[in-house]
Amino acid sequence: MKKVLNNPLALIGFIIIAGILLLALIAPLIAPYDPDAIDVKAILLSPTSQHWMGTDGLGRDVFSRMLYGARISLMVGFVAVGIATAIGIVLGAISGFYRGWVDTVIMRIVDVMLSIPTFFLILAVIAFLTPSIWNIMIVIGLTSWMGVTRLVRAEFLSLRSREFVLAAQTLGAKDARLIFTHLLPNSLTPIIVSSILGIASAVLVESGLSFLGLGVQAPQASWGNILTDGKEYIQFAWWLSLFPGLAILITVLGYNLLGDGLRDAYNPRSSQH
């Protein structure tokens, strides 16, 4: 952790993410208006001291909607990546630990999943189900576990032949003990790095889906669907497009900086470059 905080880029990333997390958590306390409250007398107002980020086509306060949208973005990121990481750890561990035909089968499934364009896969699944925040999180999770699986497998393969693991095995440690006390803890850093980078791309995918109208559904606010309104009113109301886009950009940048910084801090080879 100390190493991470010494890396200036990682520190910036950490501050960005912590800040957004805080804003999302205390959203009900600081939001000046009800994010779903329609006010016909305040349609498409430009930013003022009353409405910091203006109002949208239904007179809703954009700043309040942005705060609640942050909750959606963060939640989708965490849950989707949580699902992906859980699947990735289980399959990768089985693959790398037991090798043999199980490994072959799992790796072929990974190959198949990687050969279908992910965005098509997500959209196809959503076409058959109904778009909702829960479906989005599950679908993103179920279509993004392949990287983690490969990563965990590679870590396990290389750790398995290391002396401390062989020693533990020789001393009679059972498979479960080997996996949970020796292999997994030693693979944790790359898993965390890839999860953080995974959250960044999940946030992008969710906002893209919501922008296309296939993600989080109105009236629930998400940065992506605020932008959909922004597209409608782009000629009259720049604030509707500018703020959600910047919020996504800054959030994704924050996760990427934190993830990359973390990787550099724990991987002396990559920080030489």
Partner 1 sequence: MLKYLLKRFFWMIPLLVGISLISFFIMHLAPGDITTSEASFNPKASEESRQKLRELYSLDKPVIVQYGLWLKRMATLDFGTSFASHQRPVFWQTKDKDGTVTLGMIQEALPITLLINVLSLILIIAVALPLGVISALKQNQLADRSITLFVFIGFAIPGFWLALMLMYWTGVQHNWLPISGLESIGHENMPWLSQMIDSLKHLILPVFISALTGLAGISLFVRNGMLEVLHQDYITTARSKGLNENRVVYGHALRNALLPLITIFGLSIPGLIGGSVIAESIFAIPGMGKLFYDAVLMRDFPVIMGILTIGAILTLIGNLLADIAYAWADPRVRRGVMQ
Residue numbers of the site for partner 1 (CB under 8 A)?
Answer: 108-109, 111-121, 123-130, 200, 204, 207-208, 211-214, 227, 230-231, 234-235, 238, 241-242, 244-245, 248-250, 252-253, 256-257, 273
Closest distance between partner 1 and the C-beta of residue 236, in Å? 11
Contact, 13 vs 256, CB < 8 A? yes
- Least distance (Å) between residue 248 CB and partner 1: 5
Could you tell me the two tokens for 256? Answer: 């990427």
At 157, give phi and psi (nearest 5°).
-60, -45
Closest CB to partner 1 among residues 12, 173: 12
Min dist CB 249 to partner 1, Å, is 5
Q: Return the number of the residue (78 or 238) whose C-beta is nearest partner 1.
A: 238
Least separation in angstroms between residue 252's CB and partner 1 is: 4
Find the shortest distance in angstroms from Cβ 71 to partner 1.
Answer: 18
Q: What is the DSSP letter of 36?
A: T
How far is it, in rounded angstroms, from Cα 155 to Cα 74? 28
**Nearest residue (CB) to partner 1, 19 versus 32:** 19
Taking the least distance from each CB to partner 1, the nearer of 172 and 268 is 268
Structure tokens at 75: 């939640």
179 vs 203 by CB, closer to partner 1 = 203
SS3 for 43? Answer: coil
Q: Which residue, 133 or 197, has its beta carbon nearer to partner 1?
A: 197
135 vs 169, beta carbon nearer partner 1: 135
Work out how close the CB of 161 gets to partner 1 at its nearest, in angstroms, rounded to a whole number.
20
The tokens for 268 are 């002396």
Q: Taking the complex as a whole, how short is the minimal distance between the CB of residue 45 and partner 1, in angstroms?
A: 19
Collapse the DSSP code of 117 into the 3-class scheme (helix H, G, I; strand E, B; otherwise coil) and give the result.
Answer: coil
Neighbouring CB atoms inside 10 A of 18's CB total 12
Sort 54 into a burial class: Cβ within 10 Å, 0-12 / 13-18 / 19+: buried
- Which residues face 61 on adjacent strands? 55
Evaluated on CA atoms 35, 41, 42, 48, the torsion sign reads negative
Are 148 and 195 within 8 A, CB to CB? yes
> What is the length of the chain?
273
